[in-house]
Amino acid sequence: MTDNYPSTTEKHLENYLETDKPEEACGVFGIYAPEEDVTKLTYFGLYALQHRGQESAGIATFQDDRVYIHKGMGLVSQVFNESILQQLTGNIGIGHTRYSTTGSSQINNAQPALVETPLGPLAIAHNGNLVNTQDLKKELIDRGCNFNSTTDSEMIALAIATEVKSGKSWLKAAISAFHLCKGAFSLTIGTPEGLMGVRDPHGVRPLVIGTLEDINPKRYVLASETCALDIIGAEYLRDVEPGELVWITEEGMASFHWNQKPQRKLCIFEMIYFARPDSIMEGGSLYSYRLKIGRQLARESLVEADMVIGVPDSGIPAAIGFSQESGIPYAEGLIKNRYVGRTFIQPTQHMRESGIRMKLNPLKDVLEGKRIIMVDDSIVRGNTSKKIVKALRDSGATEVHMRISSPPVTHPCFYGIDTDNQEQLIGATKSVAEIAEQIGVDSLAYLSWEGMLRTTDEDPKTFCSACFTGDYPIPLPDKLKRSKLVLENPVQV
């Protein structure tokens, strides 16, 4: 069953709520737990992953050879209610929150993607982006496939279905299909027999395994982030490894390394911005990492000031770290309205012109007469930063110095993050001094690429930082490159 919600208004109403961030990845969830209410557990898992995508949400459950599915446009809390959840019965559940990368924001592109196979229904939830969609689509058309959406996620599901049709088991069919896919994909896949969790050979997008410890036999949960385990009381076990498939059935969990040459390239922006600060990556909370990059930023670009503030919410941990390292007091100078970011109601023209105050409101009595260091995690286009700076000055700030806890974004992402074409990335077209002048700050400094990676305390070669360097770990087809890489020589800063 599906509800045909009204089509979305202008994408995120960017004309007045445009952010300076790369837009979210997607969130995926999966659970095998016959003794539990898997539908509600999936719902709450998606609720914890809402920050990863707000355009659509969906849940598919499996009971024997039957599948029940509901998906719709909007937030998890808008798409589901108690009545709908009661109709989704089963012992296996997968769920998805979506921000569109491949395929537009409309109901037929909402996930999980569902296909029929000779072994029964298959549902797939996908975080990431394939880079060989044109070749894969041609291959699937040659195999007689019909498409119900414009997503690469459905292509993965159809690729598995065609392999099943040739007589292969679920596992062998899935592994054969994954070898057809190039790009970034972290997947939860539901079948009548069991639940799969899969990562591409580079592990660009995260996927973790948890256990429901108080249940015997042990039951397993898959999720994009550990915060989705926490909300349902599951314990973090480990990450799904790059190039690994885990197969969860009544017999337990089995592991298959379907790609023999994995080379981890976790997206560094997961650590800087995308994932929730209470999620665990690389053995520690992301809040701790963001504190550390704030400290590193202060060591690299300290300036005299009276106060450090962060841009809510993602800039706050780095701002606190900057304050701790510099000794300059931290204060809240911007208050975020958390309930307007995904409204379907058009504002008035006057509100559109004032723009940023719908999401952020400055505290005049805190800012007045002060020299401010404002810390944020990134600047993509610069429009929102300019509005924030103006609001701080209008509130009486005498100086505004901006510090960014990542390097300049100079290249678009092709692996599941919605960034602009290169010509729209301010870091690719302007120097730091030119950006500072455009957004109206007294000074601007970014975290160095070396400092960003060194602060992870991991091998820098195990991260994808292509959006800062243009060094893409997964080869890109020329046509795909040309679609976004429009500048031959981006500005070096």
Q: Where are the domains of the chain?
A: 27-264, 286-337+351-485
Residue 467 in marked binding region: yes
Whole-angstrom distance, CA of residue 162 vs CA of residue 116: 10
376 is in an annotated binding site: yes
C-alpha span between 447 and 301 (Å, rounded): 8
Rounded Cα–Cα distance for residues 451 and 446 (Å) = 10
CA distances for 157 relative to 13, 123, 145, 180, angstroms:
31, 7, 11, 12
Residue with tokens 């010509």: 423
Residue where the block lists tokens 């012109």: 353
**Six-digit token pair at 414?**
């092709």
Closest-CA residue to 151 (of 183, 110, 202, 122): 110
Q: What backbone torsions phi and psi does residue 89 show, to the nearest 5 degrees? A: -100, 155
Which tokens is 91 given? 């012992």
Structure tokens at 378: 């990134």
CA distances from 195 to 33, 65, 358 (A): 10, 13, 42
- What is the rounded distance in angstroms from the CA atom of residue 386 to the CA atom of residue 373? 15
CATH number of 27-264: 3.60.20.10
Structure tokens at 68: 């029940």
pTM equals: 0.90
Is 26 an active-site residue? yes
464 among the known binding-site residues?
yes
Annotated binding-site residue? 224? no
Tell whether residue 413 is among the known ligand binding residues: yes
β-pair type (371-376, 307-310): parallel
Per-residue pLDDT tens listing for the chain (493 residues): 333 333 333 333 333 334 556 555 799 999 999 999 999 999 999 999 999 998 999 999 999 999 999 999 999 999 999 999 999 999 999 999 987 554 455 788 899 999 999 999 999 999 999 999 999 999 999 999 999 888 899 999 999 999 999 999 999 999 999 999 999 999 999 999 999 999 999 999 999 999 998 888 899 999 999 999 999 999 999 999 999 999 999 999 999 999 989 999 999 999 999 999 999 998 889 999 999 999 999 999 999 999 999 999 889 999 999 999 999 999 999 998 876 555 545 556 665 655 566 688 999 999 999 999 999 999 988 888 999 999 999 999 999 999 999 999 999 999 988 776 888 899 999 999 999 999 999 999 999 999 999 999 999 999 999 999 999 999 999 888 877 675 645 565 5
Residue 359 is predicted with a pLDDT of 80
Q: What is the pLDDT of residue 100?
A: 56
Note whether 281 and 270 are within 8 A (CB).
Answer: yes
Does 286-337+351-485 carry CATH code 3.30.70.1350? no
Residue 226 CA to residue 476 CA, distance in Å, equals 31
Residues 221 and 212 sit within 8 Å (Cβ to Cβ): yes
Is 227 known as a binding-site position? Answer: no
**If you search the block for the tokens 């007589």, which residue do you land on?**
167
